[in-house]
């Protein structure tokens, strides 16, 4: 049995509200079908659940046209590889990984993206919103 290939991954980690980590992966099976997997880790920061916390995982099918649209927009973005990073106040990290085994780009920012990375933030937010349908 062949494994799913990860196409896109978004991680959102809050450091101020105790929520934890939200990880969303868009994957493709060997037969070409797409899936969206959502993992919510709740209370893994400082809480009564302890350091391990609790994880909720959901998976569902995703239409190819949705994935194709996101990938097409990503292909048209031109960004600086080394922008001027600035730390924010309360907030958390957001990460966007594009690709998987055959090649990958990884972007990470604190609270607000660096100037010029706003299109990446918009796409990451769109992927996180897609995960709401899986909840």
Tell me the pLDDT tens digit for each residue of 19-40. Answer: 578 899 999 999 999 999 999 8
Q: What is the CATH number of domain 5-132?
A: 3.30.1560
Domain ranges of the chain: 5-132
The set of residues, in sequence order, having a beta carbon less than 8 Å from that of 33 and lying 6+ positions away, is 61
Report the residue count for the chain: 135
- pLDDT for residue 53: 64
- Return mean pLDDT, the chain: 84
Supply the pTM of this predicted model: 0.83
Report pLDDT digits (tens) over 45-100: 545 555 556 778 899 999 999 999 999 999 999 988 888 877 666 678 899 999 87
User: Would you tell me the crossing angle of helices 64-76 and 118-132 to the nearest 10 degrees?
Assistant: 170
């Amino acid at each position: 049995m062949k494994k799913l290939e990860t196409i896109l991954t978004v991680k959102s980690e809050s450091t101020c509200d105790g929520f934890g980590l939200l990880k969303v992966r868009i994957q493709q099976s060997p037969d070409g079908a797409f899936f969206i997997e959502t993992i919510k880790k709740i209370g893994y920061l400082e809480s009564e659940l302890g350091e391990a916390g609790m994880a909720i995982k959901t998976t569902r099918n995703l239409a190819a046209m949705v994935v194709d649209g996101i990938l097409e927009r990503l292909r048209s973005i031109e960004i600086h590889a080394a922008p001027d990073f600035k730390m924010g106040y309360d907030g958390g990290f957001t990460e966007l990984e594009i690709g998987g085994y055959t090649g990958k780009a990884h972007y990470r920012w604190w609270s607000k993206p660096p100037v010029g990375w706003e299109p990446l933030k918009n796409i990451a937010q769109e992927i996180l919103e897609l995960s709401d349908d899986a909840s």
